[in-house]
Chain A
């Protein structure tokens, strides 16, 4: 195989902070190369340099042996480098074909030649074995299909180097299989693919090589066949993680929350369960089973049509989030950036947002108390930051999630709802979040955790409640947990 890309000694600083120290990375034609590392390790920065979004401060980039200067995204595109971003950037009001040919529309007599455009799109999709109608509006496609369109677009631009940033983060298992087929196709065409992912099983299935970054340095590169899970994790975190799901003594007490027949047609139906003090209740089901919707209505973000909620034996009406918060409920949402944090606001101000009433007298904010409480909780949770006055958007994913946690911990809730608590977070931060969850229930508080990662659900929960097609399909105690029985229950009403 021939060397397609070589990055040598890449350096980059932001705000005087060196985030990449002489990183090396190379990619062979017709291969898939995994780029792994904790959040903040420098993966995105390295790739953004490759696609011309950032300029490197030092080092060399060679494509097929030629030294190149990639000073803008347009230059990268010309050199055949394309990136499929985690957050897709298609124009939702335009068709598949219009998106693929955006900015390069075939023209006849000064007008867009739509017939030609649809024809070329059809041919393109066919060669990639993607079955989509070129005339469908992008916004009507599922995320997985939008992603395929972006890949097709990259291929149509003769991309020889394709970067995929966590391509499976929001697609189903069947769609993942489809994606693999397309990746294998691209390999045959000689395309080199950089595959950024946190998921070990994927990396083992689809990649040929693995490179690990840690703290802005390239730590190791192996052939995937020779790498083991332990090697990868150790290289990523710089230490051995002996216990991914830390053990704890369950001390389950009185019921604290009870749902009776909570119903909203088409979202969740007749959902009943009891949550106890000191308990972590796992809420498991396939995407679309109604887990998040149920929790949203518990938190007052949406109204249920029927059913009752009891907290500490008392019936409560939770019409808006403030009601739920006042009854001691906190909600760590699935979408950290969309609902968890006010990104342009400082870390400190994000942390105190739900607690402003307690931190104010009749008129003014008690500034000194606000500062001391914030400093205390942020250091307790070991949020890595230069200064709590910095905008929270500057933090890595794991640290942002810790700020979300800090903001609720400060409020001292009795119940925390975690919706996919470790999505998009690296192994090191994951272990810390798990530890914080355990410490929380050890104090006699309770957690409801929605999780799509089976090992996480089984490793952390005392009890698992399975939803299937909007209904509760079963409940398992810790000694009854098995991947099989959970999956069977999840499929029960499909």
Chain B
């Protein structure tokens, strides 16, 4: 009898551990398996050039997803990131035109400033004016798009200065793309911010229970407002890099990127309800989505089918997470 009981006990424990393991590492395992399978079929997938391209793509998408992680941890959402990216891309390109004769830093700062302004607008709306995040950022998405089109009447901006183009297309030492370096630095800073500073702790607390956070003396409005500012600035930076990379300002830059960013965050195990999540999970989410599109491209799967695959992947990831967390 005694023996039987302990046997049952360890079986139940193992089942629970297995569930926890899947919840925590499911996406990572899926990523590894996917990389192995694709590279077996198409060895070119793991070639240096392709990996570099994937990482470069990931570093642009990743900026949005990292900002989105902070927003989602507070229980919010930022639908404006794609539009902010487009807007910042256009405005920085405008100042980066050869004819403007401005140093690249001016163009970058103008772009980032657009993100700062729209992000602050979002933050004030959501935190202080009590507009639900979904609605507030939906509104600013439209506003940002309008600003983007108004700048040049929707015409593209060609002929950007060489120094500006370096930000998107440059290689350090001729091998390492600048966008990857920028992303790596931002990611490291965000890791420290989220896990090693009290600001990060407060982000988790506000998302987990805003009332308890308030009673603990935390200025919850300030915390909520700042995550939108962070998200806006990072999205803007992604826009600047994109303009520099494609060597022109295009109005439809960033379109639909908000859904990808949200997908990356939830694949990484962050709860949209707030308070629960992890930044390294988002990194896995970013890589999973980028590898998926690159892999499917190589396997010759058409773009229209790819959307369907991505849709199922997102749903499956969240399903695994919620099935194993109860």
B residues in contact with A341, CB < 8 Å: 209, 212
A226 vs B10: C-alpha distance when bound (angstroms): 42
The answer to whether A331 touches B204 (Cβ under 8 A) is no
The answer to whether B215 touches A301 (Cβ under 8 A) is yes
The answer to whether B217 touches A364 (Cβ under 8 A) is no
Chain B, residues 200-228, CB within 8 Å of chain A (1/0): the string is: 01101100110111111111000000000
The answer to whether A353 touches B12 (Cβ under 8 A) is no
The answer to whether A16 touches B16 (Cβ under 8 A) is yes
A333 adjacent to chain B (CB < 8 Å): yes
The answer to whether A325 touches B217 (Cβ under 8 A) is yes
The answer to whether B8 touches A58 (Cβ under 8 A) is yes
Given contacts A342-B275, A344-B275, contact A15 B209 (CB under 8 A): no
B9 adjacent to chain A (CB < 8 Å): yes
A345 vs B213: C-alpha distance when bound (angstroms): 11
Given contacts A342-B209, A364-B192, contact A321 B8 (CB under 8 A): no
The answer to whether B212 touches A340 (Cβ under 8 A) is yes
The answer to whether A353 touches B216 (Cβ under 8 A) is yes
The answer to whether B204 touches A343 (Cβ under 8 A) is no
B310 adjacent to chain A (CB < 8 Å): no
With both chains docked as a complex, state the minimum distance between the C-beta of A364 and any C-beta of chain B, in angstroms. 5
A residues in contact with B192, CB < 8 Å: 364
A76 vs B10: C-alpha distance when bound (angstroms): 28
A364 vs B199: C-alpha distance when bound (angstroms): 9
A residues in contact with B9, CB < 8 Å: 13, 16, 18
The answer to whether B205 touches A364 (Cβ under 8 A) is no
B residues in contact with A339, CB < 8 Å: 209, 211-212, 214-215
A254 vs B5: C-alpha distance when bound (angstroms): 61
B residues in contact with A343, CB < 8 Å: 208-209
A339 vs B238: C-alpha distance when bound (angstroms): 38
Query: Residue among A320, A342, A354 with the most chain B CB within 10 A?
Result: A342
The answer to whether A342 touches B212 (Cβ under 8 A) is yes
A266 adjacent to chain B (CB < 8 Å): no
A residues in contact with B217, CB < 8 Å: 320-322, 324-326, 354
Considering only residues 349-364 of chain A, those with a C-beta below 8 Å from chain B are 349, 352-354, 356-357, 359-360, 363-364
With both chains docked as a complex, state the minimum distance between the C-beta of B8 and any C-beta of chain A, in angstroms. 6
The answer to whether B201 touches A365 (Cβ under 8 A) is yes
The answer to whether B201 touches A353 (Cβ under 8 A) is yes
A338 adjacent to chain B (CB < 8 Å): yes
Q: How many residues of A contact B (CB 8 A)?
A: 39
Given contacts A342-B208, A342-B213, A343-B209, contact A356 B201 (CB under 8 A): yes
Given contacts A342-B209, A343-B208, contact A320 B219 (CB under 8 A): yes
With both chains docked as a complex, state the minimum distance between the C-beta of A332 and any C-beta of chain B, in angstroms. 9
A113 adjacent to chain B (CB < 8 Å): no
With both chains docked as a complex, state the minimum distance between the C-beta of A413 and any C-beta of chain B, in angstroms. 11
With both chains docked as a complex, state the minimum distance between the C-beta of A367 and any C-beta of chain B, in angstroms. 8
Q: Which one of B10, B13, B218, B219 contacts A353 once the chains associate, using CB atoms below 8 Å? A: B218
A367 vs B195: C-alpha distance when bound (angstroms): 10
The answer to whether B215 touches A365 (Cβ under 8 A) is no
A369 adjacent to chain B (CB < 8 Å): no
The answer to whether A340 touches B275 (Cβ under 8 A) is no
A345 vs B8: C-alpha distance when bound (angstroms): 30
A160 vs B59: C-alpha distance when bound (angstroms): 62
A364 vs B276: C-alpha distance when bound (angstroms): 21
Q: Which one of B5, B211, B216 contacts A338 once the chains associate, using CB atoms below 8 Å? A: B211
Chain A, residues 344-388, CB within 8 Å of chain B (1/0): the string is: 110001001110110110011101000000000000000000000
Please give me the residue from chain A that is nearest to B271 by CB atom: A344
Considering only residues 172-209 of chain B, those with a C-beta below 8 Å from chain A are 192, 196-198, 201-202, 204-205, 208-209
Given contacts A13-B12, A340-B215, A354-B216, contact A345 B202 (CB under 8 A): no
The answer to whether A345 touches B197 (Cβ under 8 A) is no
A407 adjacent to chain B (CB < 8 Å): yes
B residues in contact with A359, CB < 8 Å: 198
The answer to whether B197 touches A57 (Cβ under 8 A) is no
The answer to whether A349 touches B215 (Cβ under 8 A) is no
A residues in contact with B216, CB < 8 Å: 321, 325, 353-354, 407
A residues in contact with B201, CB < 8 Å: 349, 352-353, 356, 365
Considering only residues 311-325 of chain A, those with a C-beta below 8 Å from chain B are 320-322, 324-325
With both chains docked as a complex, state the minimum distance between the C-beta of B199 and any C-beta of chain A, in angstroms. 9
With both chains docked as a complex, state the minimum distance between the C-beta of A317 and any C-beta of chain B, in angstroms. 15
With both chains docked as a complex, state the minimum distance between the C-beta of A266 and any C-beta of chain B, in angstroms. 22
Q: Which one of B16, B197, B204, B214 contacts A15 once the chains associate, using CB atoms below 8 Å? A: B16
With both chains docked as a complex, state the minimum distance between the C-beta of A388 and any C-beta of chain B, in angstroms. 15
With both chains docked as a complex, state the minimum distance between the C-beta of A44 and any C-beta of chain B, in angstroms. 16
Considering only residues 1-60 of chain A, those with a C-beta below 8 Å from chain B are 11, 13-16, 18, 57-58
The answer to whether A13 touches B8 (Cβ under 8 A) is yes
A residues in contact with B12, CB < 8 Å: 13, 15-16, 57
B residues in contact with A18, CB < 8 Å: 5, 9
A residues in contact with B5, CB < 8 Å: 11, 18, 58
A residues in contact with B275, CB < 8 Å: 342, 344-345
B residues in contact with A331, CB < 8 Å: 215
Please give me the residue from chain B that is nearest to A360 by CB atom: B198
B residues in contact with A363, CB < 8 Å: 197
A363 vs B198: C-alpha distance when bound (angstroms): 8
Please give me the residue from chain A that is nearest to B206 by CB atom: A342
Chain B, residues 248-287, CB within 8 Å of chain A (1/0): the string is: 0000000000000000000000000001100000000000
A359 vs B201: C-alpha distance when bound (angstroms): 12
The answer to whether B276 touches A344 (Cβ under 8 A) is yes
A residues in contact with B196, CB < 8 Å: 364-365, 367
With both chains docked as a complex, state the minimum distance between the C-beta of A276 and any C-beta of chain B, in angstroms. 25
A339 vs B210: C-alpha distance when bound (angstroms): 8
Query: Residue among A339, A354, A360 with the most chain B CB within 10 A?
Result: A339
Chain A, residues 297-308, CB within 8 Å of chain B (1/0): the string is: 001010000000
The answer to whether A345 touches B215 (Cβ under 8 A) is no
With both chains docked as a complex, state the minimum distance between the C-beta of B120 and any C-beta of chain A, in angstroms. 22
B residues in contact with A322, CB < 8 Å: 217-219
Q: Which one of A57, A340, A354 contacts B8 once the chains associate, using CB atoms below 8 Å? A: A57
Given contacts A57-B8, A341-B209, A345-B205, contact A356 B198 (CB under 8 A): yes
Query: Residue among B12, B196, B211, B212 with the most chain A CB within 10 A?
Result: B212
Please give me the residue from chain B that is nearest to A22 by CB atom: B5
Query: Residue among B12, B217, B218 with the most chain A CB within 10 A?
Result: B217
Chain B, residues 12-46, CB within 8 Å of chain A (1/0): the string is: 11001000000000000000000000000000000
Please give me the residue from chain B that is nearest to A299 by CB atom: B215
User: A325-B217, A342-B275, A354-B217 are known contacts; what are 15 more A-B pairs with Cβ within 8 Å?
Assistant: A301-B215, A322-B218, A322-B219, A325-B216, A343-B208, A344-B208, A349-B205, A353-B205, A354-B216, A356-B202, A363-B197, A364-B192, A364-B196, A364-B197, A407-B216
Please name 10 pairs of A and B residues whose Cβ atoms are closer than 8 Å in the assembled complex, sorted by A: A320-B217, A321-B215, A322-B218, A343-B209, A344-B208, A344-B276, A345-B204, A354-B216, A356-B201, A363-B197
List the 7 closest A-B pairs by CB distance, nearest first: A16-B13, A356-B198, A342-B208, A322-B217, A325-B217, A354-B216, A342-B209
